[in-house]
Amino acid sequence: MTEQKNTEQVDTSTDSQETIAQKIKDGVYIRTIKSFVKREGRLTKGQQGALDQYWPTMGLEHKDGLIDFSAVFGNYNPVVAEIGFGMGKSLVEMAKAAPEKNFIGIEVHTPGVGACLMEAGEQGITNLRLYCHDAIEVLADCIPQDSLACMQLFFADPWHKARHHKRRIVQPLFAQNIRKSLKIGGIFHLATDWENYAEHMVEVLNDAPGYSNIASNGDYIERPDSRPLTKFEARGHRLGHGVWDMMYQREK
Protein backbone atom coordinates (compact mmCIF):
# COMPACT_ATOMS: atom_id res chain seq x y z
CA MET A 1 0.00 0.00 0.00
CA THR A 2 1.37 3.46 -0.85
CA GLU A 3 2.00 5.80 2.04
CA GLN A 4 -0.44 8.70 2.43
CA LYS A 5 1.19 12.12 2.27
CA ASN A 6 -0.04 15.11 4.21
CA THR A 7 -0.82 18.04 1.89
CA GLU A 8 0.88 20.38 4.34
CA GLN A 9 4.12 18.44 4.05
CA VAL A 10 4.50 17.72 0.34
CA ASP A 11 5.22 20.09 -2.51
CA THR A 12 1.93 20.21 -4.39
CA SER A 13 2.79 23.36 -6.34
CA THR A 14 2.74 21.51 -9.66
CA ASP A 15 -0.66 19.89 -8.97
CA SER A 16 -3.83 21.56 -10.22
CA GLN A 17 -6.68 22.14 -7.76
CA GLU A 18 -8.60 19.24 -9.30
CA THR A 19 -5.58 16.98 -8.98
CA ILE A 20 -5.13 17.82 -5.29
CA ALA A 21 -8.85 17.33 -4.58
CA GLN A 22 -8.79 14.04 -6.52
CA LYS A 23 -5.64 12.84 -4.72
CA ILE A 24 -7.31 13.59 -1.37
CA LYS A 25 -10.38 11.62 -2.50
CA ASP A 26 -8.16 8.76 -3.74
CA GLY A 27 -6.33 8.68 -0.40
CA VAL A 28 -2.96 9.65 -1.92
CA TYR A 29 -2.93 12.89 0.05
CA ILE A 30 -4.51 13.51 3.44
CA ARG A 31 -5.29 16.78 5.13
CA THR A 32 -5.22 16.61 8.90
CA ILE A 33 -4.38 20.12 10.02
CA LYS A 34 -7.32 22.52 10.16
CA SER A 35 -7.12 26.29 10.60
CA PHE A 36 -10.13 26.32 12.95
CA VAL A 37 -11.66 24.54 15.87
CA LYS A 38 -15.35 24.04 15.22
CA ARG A 39 -17.24 25.83 17.99
CA GLU A 40 -20.79 24.62 17.98
CA GLY A 41 -22.04 27.78 19.70
CA ARG A 42 -25.80 28.00 20.05
CA LEU A 43 -27.71 29.92 17.44
CA THR A 44 -29.76 32.85 18.64
CA LYS A 45 -33.40 32.93 17.59
CA GLY A 46 -32.58 35.69 15.12
CA GLN A 47 -29.69 33.72 13.57
CA GLN A 48 -31.84 30.57 13.24
CA GLY A 49 -34.66 32.62 11.74
CA ALA A 50 -32.26 34.19 9.22
CA LEU A 51 -30.89 30.76 8.27
CA ASP A 52 -34.44 29.47 7.72
CA GLN A 53 -35.46 32.51 5.73
CA TYR A 54 -32.39 33.34 3.65
CA TRP A 55 -30.30 30.18 3.29
CA PRO A 56 -32.48 28.82 0.44
CA THR A 57 -31.63 31.88 -1.70
CA MET A 58 -28.26 33.00 -0.32
CA GLY A 59 -26.68 29.72 0.77
CA LEU A 60 -24.24 27.75 -1.36
CA GLU A 61 -23.44 24.10 -0.72
CA HIS A 62 -19.96 22.61 -0.95
CA LYS A 63 -21.48 19.32 -2.12
CA ASP A 64 -22.80 21.04 -5.29
CA GLY A 65 -19.21 21.35 -6.53
CA LEU A 66 -17.90 23.85 -9.06
CA ILE A 67 -19.90 27.05 -9.05
CA ASP A 68 -21.09 29.04 -12.07
CA PHE A 69 -21.01 32.65 -10.86
CA SER A 70 -23.12 34.04 -13.72
CA ALA A 71 -25.86 31.47 -13.05
CA VAL A 72 -25.80 32.15 -9.29
CA PHE A 73 -25.80 35.97 -9.51
CA GLY A 74 -27.54 36.43 -12.87
CA ASN A 75 -24.77 38.72 -14.14
CA TYR A 76 -21.09 38.78 -15.08
CA ASN A 77 -19.95 41.27 -12.42
CA PRO A 78 -16.52 40.83 -10.80
CA VAL A 79 -16.55 38.43 -7.86
CA VAL A 80 -14.92 39.13 -4.49
CA ALA A 81 -14.61 36.23 -2.02
CA GLU A 82 -13.86 36.38 1.68
CA ILE A 83 -12.57 33.59 3.91
CA GLY A 84 -13.56 33.62 7.60
CA PHE A 85 -15.95 36.57 7.67
CA GLY A 86 -16.84 36.01 11.34
CA MET A 87 -20.25 37.61 12.02
CA GLY A 88 -20.19 39.17 8.54
CA LYS A 89 -20.89 42.79 9.42
CA SER A 90 -18.05 44.21 7.36
CA LEU A 91 -18.73 41.80 4.49
CA VAL A 92 -22.34 43.00 4.29
CA GLU A 93 -21.13 46.60 4.46
CA MET A 94 -18.78 45.97 1.52
CA ALA A 95 -21.48 44.22 -0.51
CA LYS A 96 -23.84 47.14 0.11
CA ALA A 97 -21.20 49.70 -0.87
CA ALA A 98 -20.33 47.89 -4.12
CA PRO A 99 -23.52 46.74 -5.91
CA GLU A 100 -21.47 46.53 -9.14
CA LYS A 101 -19.62 43.52 -7.66
CA ASN A 102 -20.68 40.10 -6.39
CA PHE A 103 -19.52 38.76 -3.02
CA ILE A 104 -19.02 35.23 -1.72
CA GLY A 105 -18.39 34.66 1.98
CA ILE A 106 -16.94 31.42 3.35
CA GLU A 107 -17.20 30.71 7.08
CA VAL A 108 -17.30 27.52 9.18
CA HIS A 109 -18.99 29.03 12.23
CA THR A 110 -22.76 28.55 11.80
CA PRO A 111 -23.82 31.36 14.21
CA GLY A 112 -21.62 33.74 12.18
CA VAL A 113 -23.32 32.63 8.98
CA GLY A 114 -26.72 33.17 10.63
CA ALA A 115 -25.67 36.62 11.85
CA CYS A 116 -24.39 37.56 8.38
CA LEU A 117 -27.65 36.41 6.74
CA MET A 118 -29.64 38.41 9.29
CA GLU A 119 -27.66 41.57 8.55
CA ALA A 120 -27.83 41.00 4.76
CA GLY A 121 -31.58 40.39 4.97
CA GLU A 122 -32.14 43.56 7.00
CA GLN A 123 -30.07 45.56 4.52
CA GLY A 124 -31.79 44.04 1.46
CA ILE A 125 -28.48 42.79 0.00
CA THR A 126 -28.80 40.78 -3.25
CA ASN A 127 -25.15 40.51 -4.39
CA LEU A 128 -23.96 38.16 -1.63
CA ARG A 129 -23.89 34.37 -1.27
CA LEU A 130 -22.44 32.30 1.58
CA TYR A 131 -20.82 28.94 2.17
CA CYS A 132 -20.93 27.44 5.66
CA HIS A 133 -17.95 25.16 5.11
CA ASP A 134 -14.16 24.86 5.37
CA ALA A 135 -12.68 27.37 2.91
CA ILE A 136 -9.86 24.99 1.97
CA GLU A 137 -12.40 22.53 0.59
CA VAL A 138 -14.52 25.24 -1.03
CA LEU A 139 -11.38 26.52 -2.78
CA ALA A 140 -10.46 23.04 -3.97
CA ASP A 141 -13.90 21.92 -5.12
CA CYS A 142 -16.14 24.94 -5.81
CA ILE A 143 -14.29 28.09 -6.89
CA PRO A 144 -13.30 27.95 -10.57
CA GLN A 145 -9.70 28.68 -11.45
CA ASP A 146 -8.90 32.16 -12.85
CA SER A 147 -12.28 33.46 -11.69
CA LEU A 148 -12.00 35.91 -8.77
CA ALA A 149 -11.30 39.63 -8.91
CA CYS A 150 -10.30 39.59 -5.25
CA MET A 151 -9.87 37.23 -2.30
CA GLN A 152 -10.06 38.71 1.20
CA LEU A 153 -8.68 37.24 4.40
CA PHE A 154 -9.20 39.57 7.34
CA PHE A 155 -8.02 38.78 10.86
CA ALA A 156 -7.51 35.07 10.30
CA ASP A 157 -6.99 33.11 13.51
CA PRO A 158 -3.36 33.91 14.43
CA TRP A 159 -2.61 30.70 16.36
CA HIS A 160 -0.29 32.52 18.72
CA LYS A 161 1.76 29.63 20.10
CA ALA A 162 4.72 28.48 18.00
CA ARG A 163 3.61 24.85 18.24
CA HIS A 164 0.29 25.86 16.65
CA HIS A 165 1.78 27.87 13.78
CA LYS A 166 1.19 24.94 11.44
CA ARG A 167 -2.55 25.63 11.88
CA ARG A 168 -2.23 29.09 10.37
CA ILE A 169 -4.22 29.15 7.16
CA VAL A 170 -1.57 31.17 5.30
CA GLN A 171 0.95 28.60 4.07
CA PRO A 172 2.75 28.16 0.71
CA LEU A 173 0.17 25.68 -0.64
CA PHE A 174 -2.71 27.92 0.43
CA ALA A 175 -1.04 30.88 -1.31
CA GLN A 176 -0.87 28.90 -4.55
CA ASN A 177 -4.48 27.74 -4.30
CA ILE A 178 -5.62 31.33 -3.76
CA ARG A 179 -3.47 32.48 -6.71
CA LYS A 180 -5.05 29.89 -9.00
CA SER A 181 -8.55 31.04 -8.00
CA LEU A 182 -7.75 34.66 -8.95
CA LYS A 183 -7.91 36.10 -12.44
CA ILE A 184 -4.58 37.36 -13.74
CA GLY A 185 -4.33 40.82 -12.15
CA GLY A 186 -6.66 39.78 -9.32
CA ILE A 187 -5.86 40.80 -5.75
CA PHE A 188 -5.28 38.81 -2.55
CA HIS A 189 -5.95 41.24 0.32
CA LEU A 190 -4.96 40.23 3.85
CA ALA A 191 -5.11 42.03 7.17
CA THR A 192 -4.11 41.01 10.67
CA ASP A 193 -3.63 42.62 14.07
CA TRP A 194 -0.95 40.12 15.11
CA GLU A 195 2.53 41.34 14.10
CA ASN A 196 4.16 37.92 14.09
CA TYR A 197 1.41 36.60 11.77
CA ALA A 198 1.79 39.67 9.53
CA GLU A 199 5.52 38.88 9.22
CA HIS A 200 4.69 35.24 8.45
CA MET A 201 2.19 36.32 5.77
CA VAL A 202 4.73 38.59 4.09
CA GLU A 203 7.38 35.87 4.24
CA VAL A 204 5.09 33.27 2.64
CA LEU A 205 3.60 35.58 0.02
CA ASN A 206 6.79 37.45 -0.96
CA ASP A 207 8.29 34.00 -1.64
CA ALA A 208 5.23 32.64 -3.47
CA PRO A 209 5.73 32.40 -7.23
CA GLY A 210 3.31 34.31 -9.44
CA TYR A 211 2.46 37.20 -7.11
CA SER A 212 3.70 40.74 -6.76
CA ASN A 213 3.39 42.69 -3.52
CA ILE A 214 1.75 46.01 -4.35
CA ALA A 215 3.28 47.73 -1.28
CA SER A 216 5.98 50.16 -2.42
CA ASN A 217 8.28 49.08 0.42
CA GLY A 218 7.66 45.37 -0.19
CA ASP A 219 5.59 44.67 2.91
CA TYR A 220 2.51 46.56 4.18
CA ILE A 221 -0.01 49.07 2.83
CA GLU A 222 -2.39 51.54 4.48
CA ARG A 223 -5.89 50.16 5.06
CA PRO A 224 -7.76 50.90 1.81
CA ASP A 225 -11.16 52.63 2.10
CA SER A 226 -12.73 49.52 0.57
CA ARG A 227 -12.06 47.60 3.81
CA PRO A 228 -14.36 48.67 6.63
CA LEU A 229 -13.19 48.18 10.22
CA THR A 230 -14.09 44.67 11.37
CA LYS A 231 -15.24 43.66 14.85
CA PHE A 232 -11.83 42.11 15.58
CA GLU A 233 -10.04 45.20 14.39
CA ALA A 234 -12.10 47.51 16.58
CA ARG A 235 -11.25 45.24 19.52
CA GLY A 236 -7.57 45.33 18.51
CA HIS A 237 -7.62 49.12 18.42
CA ARG A 238 -9.08 49.17 21.94
CA LEU A 239 -6.26 46.88 23.11
CA GLY A 240 -3.69 49.12 21.46
CA HIS A 241 -2.73 46.58 18.73
CA GLY A 242 -1.44 47.64 15.35
CA VAL A 243 -3.06 46.44 12.12
CA TRP A 244 -1.18 45.31 9.03
CA ASP A 245 -2.78 45.24 5.56
CA MET A 246 -1.13 43.40 2.68
CA MET A 247 -2.12 43.22 -0.99
CA TYR A 248 -0.71 40.84 -3.55
CA GLN A 249 -1.54 40.84 -7.23
CA ARG A 250 -1.63 37.69 -9.33
CA GLU A 251 0.96 38.16 -12.06
CA LYS A 252 0.82 34.79 -13.77
Ligand X SMILES: C[S@@+](CC[C@H](N)C(=O)[O-])C[C@H]1O[C@@H](n2cnc3c(N)ncnc32)[C@H](O)[C@@H]1O
Per rule CB under 6 A, is residue 103 in the interface with ligand X? no
Residue 104 lies near ligand X (rule: CB under 6 A):
no
Is 219 designated active site? no
107 part of the interface to ligand X, by CB under 6 A: yes
Q: Nearest distance from residue 208's CB to ligand X, in Å? A: 18
Q: Could you tell me which residues are beta bridge partners of residue 152? A: 82, 189
How far apart CA 196 and CA 171 sit, in angstroms, is: 14
- Work out whether 177 is an interface residue with ligand X (CB under 6 A): no
Closest contact distance (angstroms) between CB of 127 and ligand X is 19
Distance of CA 169 to the CA centre of its chain: 9
Where in 182-241 is the site for ligand X (CB under 6 A)? Answer: 230-232
Question: Does residue 184 sit in helix, strand or coil?
Answer: strand
Q: Is 115 in the site for ligand X (CB under 6 A)?
A: no
DSSP state of 225: T
C-beta of residue 51 within 8 angstroms of C-beta of residue 120: no
| Pairs from 69-73 (Cβ < 8 Å, separation ≥ 24) | 69/102, 69/144, 69/147, 72/102, 72/129, 73/102, 73/127, 73/129
Q: Say which of 52, 157, 193, 225 is annotated catalytic.
A: 157
Selected binder of ligand X within 5, 8, 31, 36 (CB under 6 A): 36
Residue from 47, 50, 51, 84 that binds ligand X (CB under 6 A)? 84
Binding site for ligand X (CB under 6 A): 35-36, 83-86, 106-109, 112, 134-136, 154-157, 169, 230-232
Q: Which residues are catalytic?
A: 157
